[in-house]
Amino acid sequence: MDFFVQQLVNGVTLGSVYALIALGYSMVYGILKLLNFAHGEVYMFGAFIGYFVLTALGGADSPMLPVAPLLILVFLAGMLGAGLLGVVIERFAYRPLRNAPRIAPLISAIGVSFFLQASALLLFSAQFRTYDTPQLIPFSTGIEWGPLRISLVRILVIGSAVFLMIALTLLVSRTRLGKAMRATSYDREAAAMMGVDVDRVIVATFLIGSVLAGAAGVMVGLVFERVFHFMGFVAGLKGFTAAVIGGIGNIPGAMLGGLVIGLAEAFTASYISSTFQNLIVFGILIVVMLVRPTGILGSPVLTKV
Amino acid sequence: MPRIGTDEWVSEQELRTEYYTGLTAPARRAFDRVGPGPRFFAFLGICALFPFLTDSAFHIRIGVNVMLFALLALGLNIVVGWAGLLDLGYVAFYGFGAYMYAWVSSDQFDIHLPTELAIPLVVAASALLGLLLGLPSWRLVGDYLAITTLFFAQIFVELTLNLDRINLPWRDEPLNLTGGPNGIPGIDRMEIFGLQLSDVRDYYFLLLILLALIAVGLFYLNDSRTGRGWRASREDPLAAELMTTPVNRLKLLAFAMGAAIAGLTGSIFAAVQTGVFPQNFEVVLLIMIYAALILGGAGSISGAVLGAIVVASVPEILRTPENARWLFYGALVAVLVATVRPWRRLAVVAGAIVAFGFVVHGLVAWIWPAGVEGEPAGGTLGGLLDSWVILPVENQELLGNLAFVLLVAAALTLTQLRGDARTILLIPTIYLAAFVWETRLIEQPSVTRQLLFGAILVAMMTMRPQGLLGSPRVENPI
């Protein structure tokens, strides 16, 4: 039972990270109908920026600031850096292709992803970096509840993920920008005719999606500690899987999908076999795609002629 | 601006005017007058002569790689270029073909089928697999199909890595299907109708014959009912279906044919390498095949072959620093010639770049002598560059990294500028590129290759989505 609950916590931690990545995919897809392959690389850069800011501020063993403001700074830097990267990618790799055949932006996205990965390899080399979180927040601190222990880092990660998701939901449902985003995603042309500045909305979408990916990168750095140039590829695939399972373009769906993938992965690794962890995740995706191509919470798509 | 979303007539007209202006116009016109037949035979002739021009097995091995890539690009061209199905699992068929050949002609299961039997078996099995994995294309379109097939590719690699210890209830010891990370070594050489293929050269000719046959077959297929059906269902599946084109069957056919060619290529790859390993079939290879196809122009047979030649030979040239350097500076000159017009402006820019280098070199030598002490490694070109490009001895990596970030920023800014501002910024950008090249890129050929392919894909899409030899496609914005 303890083991089960422990895996549940693992799954939820992993799931909240995937959910944050999935949100970026889902929002961009909702508005541009573009599969942003480079999103995983944005997340990777977020993790690296967080790492370098942490190192610049003295590293985990001799931080120059108290823990709370230090972490806030690391998060902010990772999020802002990733957000900026996302906006630049949109501006240079996707915007010139706004009216191109569907295949063109997709290939361009694959190119960006490849380029960013190689850039990271060139700039940061292939070595693994670590946030060294236990030095900062000892794993022993946390909630103890009977035999069950949840470390503070995990609580922090899950908490901030929930916070970001609530903020995003409020942004999309309550603000003018959110309304413009929903309108653009529903019908870009009609939205433009109603006076929505579509370009601005698209930039905002990329910014928000990439900020969330940057946050996810920092979180992964904090919990799993390893940061390297290839981390974006698989995480991006899983984030996309989460977005598709939940119903792409659908914000609560992305969160749900992230949780499903995270839990599936944690339980497969602990109860079945860790070698088949990825296989099972991909298998789930393929089954969902074939049975319900619009995802769990997605609505059926009508083909307009 | 890309010719997209314009009227078909306009796009053809623009293509024609572009075709017959500029420096290379006479050559292109002359090339145009030669029909596809003579061009094809000329190409074959050059390829057939190649092994006699060199003695080194290494060069012929590169030729084999080029041929393998060309076949793969031709197969992918059917699925992506003609049928318009974005198949990101293509590399799995290649891998499957290689593993299948390994199973029937190595000591893994102690089966040694004759090659005349093994190859048709592999091709048929690959086609069947293509048919199966093509089934999702009935329900999924566009990006959804792309991602599902990408997962097939991932699953394939995971399976090859993990299917080395399968516990079966009716066997005492676990079954070793794929050899796991160690792969399957010791695959038989091919022997076709008594002809033992022992040398790389033999495989080169085998591949050349196959390439010729397949290219001719595809040339006629493209103009057949099936080829037209593929294009029709690519452009508008709904309308094609209404015109009684069997869209779903054609999709499966495209998948199966692409997979069959990939499987065939895989089996030859396995025989050339005499072993198969999971890392031969990773996503990097997929991106390279796509780069070949996109570079040459999706939908064009000659384009696919040209793209394959570029993509397969460039990394080999990058391997030795001296060649890589020639290639790099040659490419810089080519970029200049292609983007700066007319001649007079080009001459001014070229002169300015050379002068800029000498001025920077002089200034740095005066202020910070250690900044120019590094020597570009050897060769005539290295000697020439020594007094032009600055090369610090210390902090080379850090400075190179900074310059790389700056270079990316400058290149991105360049795309936004027009006219004189662009020409002026081009001068320091080229110099910066040379600096980044000498400090960082030249020593890391594999990273350079990835960077180049990524950049090529993006640049191709934004500037010339139809590729080098493709014809522009017109798609009305929704």
By the CB < 8 Å criterion, does B6 face chain A?
Answer: no
Mean pLDDT score of chain A = 87
Task: Please give the residue of chain A at the shortest CA–CA distance from B141.
Answer: A293
Distances (CA, A) of B17 to A241, B6, B21: 46, 16, 6
Question: Quick one: pLDDT at residue A196?
Answer: 92
Question: Quick one: pLDDT at residue B11?
Answer: 63
Beta strands, E only, B253-380: 275-276
Relative to beta strand B275-276, strand B184-185 is: antiparallel
Q: Do B451 and A122 touch (CB under 8 A)?
A: yes
By the CB < 8 Å criterion, does A286 face chain B?
Answer: yes
Question: pLDDT tens, A15-42?
Answer: 999 999 999 988 998 888 888 889 999 9
Name all domains of chain B by residue range, CATH numbers in brackets. Answer: 34-318 (1.10.3470), 324-443 (no CATH)
Question: Quick one: pLDDT at residue A1?
Answer: 67
C-alpha closest to that of B438 among B472, B466, B404 = B404
Question: Quick one: pLDDT at residue B269?
Answer: 94
Task: Please give the residue of chain A at the shortest CA–CA distance from B80.
Answer: A103
Which one has a higher pLDDT value, B443 or A301? Answer: B443
Q: Please give, rounded to a whole number of angstroms, the shortest distance from the CA of B38 to a CA of chain A.
A: 33
Number of other residues whose CB lies within 10 A of the CB of residue B275 = 18
Counted across chains A and B, CB pairs separated by less than 8 A come out at 147
Strand, helix or coil for residue B195? strand
By the CB < 8 Å criterion, does B174 face chain A?
Answer: no
Band (A154; pLDDT cuts 50, 70, 90): confident
Tell me how long chain A is.
Answer: 305
Q: What distance in Å separates the CA atoms of residue B388 and residue A265, rounded to the nearest whole number? A: 55
Summarize the confidence of residues A213-221 as an average pLDDT.
94
Amino acid identity, position B90: Y
Tokens read off for B63: 């030729």
Question: Quick one: pLDDT at residue B1?
Answer: 38
**Nearest by CB: B86 against A106, A276, A289:** A106
First-to-final CA distance of chain B: 19
C-alpha closest to that of B391 among B352, B430, B429, B440 = B440
Summarize the confidence of residues A111-116 as an average pLDDT.
93
Question: pLDDT tens, A72-85?
Answer: 999 999 999 999 99
Cite the DSSP H helix spans in B368-444. Answer: 379-386, 396-416, 419-439
Distances (CA, A) of B399 to A119, A236, B373, B391: 15, 31, 14, 10
What is the ipTM metric for this complex?
0.85
Q: Do A93 and B458 touch (CB under 8 A)?
A: yes
By the CB < 8 Å criterion, does B136 face chain A?
Answer: yes
Residue A302 has pLDDT above 60, yes or no: no
* Burial degree of A189 (CB within 10 A; 0-12, 13-18, 19+): exposed
Question: Quick one: pLDDT at residue B476?
Answer: 47
Question: Quick one: pLDDT at residue B18?
Answer: 63
**Nearest by CB: B447 against A121, A237, A240:** A121
By the CB < 8 Å criterion, does A105 face chain B?
Answer: yes
Percentage of chain A exceeding pLDDT 70: 96
Q: Do B454 and A112 touch (CB under 8 A)?
A: yes
Residue ranges of A 44-73 with Cβ closer than 8 A to chain B: none
Summarize the confidence of residues A276-294 as an average pLDDT.
79
Question: Quick one: pLDDT at residue B477?
Answer: 42
By the CB < 8 Å criterion, does A287 face chain B?
Answer: no
Strand, helix or coil for residue B210? helix
Question: Quick one: pLDDT at residue A167?
Answer: 93
Q: What distance in Å separates the CA atoms of residue B90 and residue B75, rounded to the nearest whole number? A: 9
Band (A237; pLDDT cuts 50, 70, 90): confident
Q: Please give, rounded to a whole number of angstroms, the shortest distance from the CA of A89 to a CA of chain B.
A: 10
pTM summary value:
0.87
Task: Please give the residue of chain A at the shortest CA–CA distance from B157.
Answer: A279
Which one has a higher pLDDT value, A284 or B251? Answer: B251
Q: Report DSSP letters for B110-160, one per residue.
A: TEE--HHHHHHHHHHHHHHHHHHHHGGGGT--HHHHHHHHHHHHHHHHHHH
C-alpha closest to that of A244 among B86, B155, B132, B143 = B143
Q: Do A96 and B144 touch (CB under 8 A)?
A: no
Please say whether the beta carbons of A85 and A36 come within 8 A.
Answer: no
Tokens read off for A14: 């992993």
C-alpha closest to that of B212 among B40, B350, B35, B93 = B40
* Burial degree of B244 (CB within 10 A; 0-12, 13-18, 19+): exposed
By the CB < 8 Å criterion, does B453 face chain A?
Answer: yes
Torsion of CA A270, A275, A278, A279, to 10 degrees: -110
Residue ranges of A 112-141 with Cβ closer than 8 A to chain B: 112-119, 121-123
Distances (CA, A) of B15 to B9, B86, B129, B298: 10, 26, 40, 16
Task: Please give the residue of chain B at the shortest CA–CA distance from A122.
Answer: B447
By the CB < 8 Å criterion, does A33 face chain B?
Answer: yes
All residue ranges of chain B with pLDDT < 70 are 1-24, 375-379, 471-478
Could you tell me which residues come within 8 angstroms of residue A111 by beta carbon, excluding any fewer than 6 positions away?
A: A93, B453, B454, B455, B456, B457, B458, B460, B461
Question: Quick one: pLDDT at residue B3?
Answer: 44
Q: What distance in Å separates the CA atoms of residue B240 and residue B247, rounded to the nearest whole number? A: 7
Tokens read off for B468: 């080098």
Which residue in A41, A97, A110 has the most chain B C-beta atoms within 10 A of its own C-beta, making it the best mutation to test that interface? Answer: A110
Distances (CA, A) of A181 to A117, A177, A193, B358, B417: 30, 6, 14, 52, 30
By the CB < 8 Å criterion, does B221 face chain A?
Answer: no
C-alpha closest to that of A168 among A214, A210, A206, A208 = A208
Question: Quick one: pLDDT at residue B264?
Answer: 96
Q: Do B86 and A303 touch (CB under 8 A)?
A: no
Contact list, A249 vs chain B (CB under 8 Å)? none
Q: What distance in Å separates the CA atoms of residue A47 and residue A221, rounded to the nearest whole number? A: 6
CA B186 to chain CA centroid, nearest Å: 28
Q: Please give, rounded to a whole number of angstroms, the shortest distance from the CA of A211 to a CA of chain B.
A: 21
Contact list, A289 vs chain B (CB under 8 Å)? 136, 140, 144, 147-148
